[in-house]
Every structure is written in C-alpha cells, then in structure tokens.
Structure 1
C-alpha cells in the first residue's frame, strides 16, 4: 500500500445535512457531473445513503475518492476500528480513501486515538488518514505522533474566515486543507465585493467564492448542493480570477465562524 499522499480531487461534495433519498440523489448528481471526491461522516447519519449513490452511479468505485470521519464518541482506540468497520458496511465498500478524526473532543486522546488510525491503515480499513477541526498545536502533535502521513485537515474556511495560519501550516507538512462551509452556508451571496466580482465574470458570488478556493494552493473546498447548484459549483473551476479580484477577496477576512461549539479545541 502506497504511503504517498494523494491529490484530493477538486472539488469534493460535502454531505453534512443531507439525508435519505435527497442525499443519494445529490451524490449521484455530483458523480455524474464530474465530482470524484465525496465527503461524509458517522455524525451525518447518511453513510447508507451515500453508499446507495455509489452503487447507483455509473462510476467505478476506484475512481471515487471517498472520505468519512469518526464520531467524537468513537475515538477510544478500540472504538475507532469497530466503528470504522460499521461505516464501511453502511457505505458498502471494503475501504475508504480517507478516514478523519472528526473533532478532537469527546473520547479523543492523541496517544490512544492516533495509533488506532495507523492501525486502520495497516489493516486496510482506510488508505489514508486526516484530521478535522484541529488547532495548530494539535495538528503539529498529530503529525509527530502518526506513522501514516496526515493527508488532509478539514476546517471551516470561506472568504470571511480564511484560516491563513492553518493553511500555511498544512503546506509546510504537505497536508491539503479541505474547506467545509466554503460558501459560508450561501452567505457569500450577500457580500457586495463578491457580487461585483461575479458581475465581471458573468458568474454568481457563490461561484466566485469557490473559484477563490480553487486558486489557493493545497485548498480543496467541499460545497454542499442539490440539483443545478451541484453543476454550478463544479463549473466555478473555469473562472479565472485576476490578482485584483484575489486581493479584494483576501481583504474580506473577518475571522467569523459559523461553526463554533463550546467544546471546540480553539475554545479550550
């Protein structure tokens, strides 16, 4: 099994908040639109729906980069492996391409949890490991403790929360930053600067925000979407922002989080 870090397909489809048939439909639509990176989690309670989509779509399993995440309550060493096997059963696959620590909270203990993720690679439950919602210190700790390379760090990331420190730290360690809430739950549609740039490119503000992500080295957004929005998000790859566009978007950083649990690592 190769330990070389893969290039995550750009973009991914986020499935948080999608359930049942609508989730299956969204994943099928995404795969048929050209997406090759699907992101789910035990916490989302939709792995079975994602699995049905993988079965229905006329796309070879090996062509799909599939990621899931271990729930904070399942991060004790023995629970990591057991719950991951249950995730594979729900997804209908033999292995996932990427297994994340979803949040460093609950049962997370670096010295217990991270070796279990290495074991998940060794026994073939996942090809690669990642972390999510870590602080810089916790990310450095994970890199130092894991035998397997950390290939991805998934964090909230959008024009009003640009996370430069974590993105830069990821680049230093050859870690790709996966951006959840990349369009700030569609709030970017209301930002005047993005509306103006969108007018210049015959695009939408949401597409401009995604184009900004696509432009950032080692950043992979995973927008959610249904129907035509799935196509529009994918087509944003064709937008070529100017240096001035990027500068104006960079100035939007306000450090504003949409996802901010009291027990998140940055609040401790």
Structure 2
C-alpha cells in the first residue's frame, strides 16, 4: 500500500495542472491582503457615523470556499488525465487491486487538499487579523479563540470537496463533465436554491456542501445564500456523506467496468 501511495504522490506532483490549480487559492490569499489593506484605509478615513455602516466579510471563509472548488478540480484531474492519455491501463496493470488504487489516490489528494486548506484559511485569517488590528470593523472577528472552531470546520470541508471531485471523475470519466458538475454544485445550485420560496430555500440550502461547515459549529450562515436548519451532528454526517458516497460509487464502478 505504501508503494502505491508513493506512486500516486509522484504522479500528482509531476503534473503541471496540480501547481496551477493550487496557485489559485494562494493567489486569493494575496487578494485578501490587498482587500484588507484597502478596507483599513477606508475605515480610517470615515467619520464615526459612517463607520456604523461599513462592513468587511470574513475573507477566510471566502478563501475556504475558493480553495474547496480548486481542490475539487484537483481531485478531478488526478484521475481523468490518466483516462484521457490511456495511462489508466498501465496503472491498473501495475496495481490490479482497483480499490487499493482508488484508496491511495484518495489519500494523496485528501492530504494535499488538507494541507492547502490549512495554509490558505489560517493564513488568510491571521494576516487579516494583523492588518485590521484593533479596529472594530463589522464582520471581523472580535477574538481569535472564538473563531477557531469554525476555521477548523472550514479546513475540514476542503478535502471533502477534493474527494467529491475524485469520486465524480471516476464515475464520469470526463474532465469537462466533472468540472462543470463541481462548479454547478459550488456556485450555481446555491444561487438557484436561495431563490426558491420559503421554507424550501432554507431547508434545501442547508444540505449544500458550502453550508455544512457553519452548521457544524452551530452557526446560522447569516448573510449567505445557504440555509442553517441542520443540528451540528447531522451537518457533520452530511459532510462525510459528500465524500463517502461518491467514493463508494466510484469504487464499485471501477471494479465492474473496463479501464
């Protein structure tokens, strides 16, 4: 098993698309820095009355969602590239136990995604806190410790995106189809759901992947397109299902059809 994991790690870091995909969330950290600096400059020039109407949303939350979409694309590319080039036949010859192969891919993609999420989410948070300083800007955290549970929940959701993308790619065997589905789930479906009549917008919106980290820590997803009707244990189970169900279906499909 360790040899299979090492081989998958070698393949993942040998693909240029891996670096391009992971460069996007890193670039968003730089954008968050610029936005925080701009917000601080605007805040310092406002009157006390105008400051009551000024707000800056959580940049760490925004970057967590961007990172999730990017690593979902990474999960797709980790397998569809082999289908496109025909290398999957060589891989399956070297590793005939197909479920072991999928498990190794999932482990490597999940680990890379987790590390990326940690760096991006916590990097964005602490840099933003340092730039904002003690300014009581609405939307910014009042303390570091109180924000840690949600930050860890956001980071924990990042590899789920990646595993969802990997499982979906095995099922579809299409780079374009899997990536379009990922973007539909991440951006289009939440917007469509938010326009449904109540209470269905709140109910259905609570089951979307982006809504789950906030509910895991008992949040209300205020000022977002998501709902928040799930208790924390149920939200955690639904989050796990987003990774487990596609991978289980992928494992069954991979063992029953030709490469």
TM norm. shorter chain > 0.5: no
TM-score interval, smaller chain = under 0.3
The normalised TM-score by structure 1 is 0.25
Q: Whose Rg is larger?
A: 2
The higher relative CO (CA closer than 8 Å, separation ≥ 6) is in 2
Per residue, is there more strand in 1 or in 2? 1
The normalised TM-score by structure 2 is 0.26
